[in-house]
Amino acid sequence: MRKLRAALELSQDKFADTIGMHRAYYASIERGERNVTLWTLWRVAQGLGVKPSELLAEANL
């Protein structure tokens, strides 16, 4: 997720705001500290312009 977000030239703060999520919560997702719901996965994927399955593939899940 970090690489995709950086490619969009968005800070964690700006990206989290764009998808309607608190920056600290999003940052903890990027660091792998949280298990996310399907809804959260979908929101992040939509914000990054990819399919949720692409995020899972990148995470080797």
Domain 2-58 belongs to what architecture?
Orthogonal Bundle (1.10)
Provide CB contacts within 8 A for 14, sequence distance 6+. Answer: none
Per-residue pLDDT, 19: 97
The answer to whether the CB of 5 falls within 8 A of the CB of 12 is: yes
pTM equals: 0.89
Q: What is the pLDDT of residues 1-56, one digit of tens each?
A: 999 999 999 999 999 999 999 999 999 999 999 999 999 999 999 999 999 999 99
Q: Would you state the pLDDT for residue 42?
A: 97
pLDDT in the model for residue 59: 81
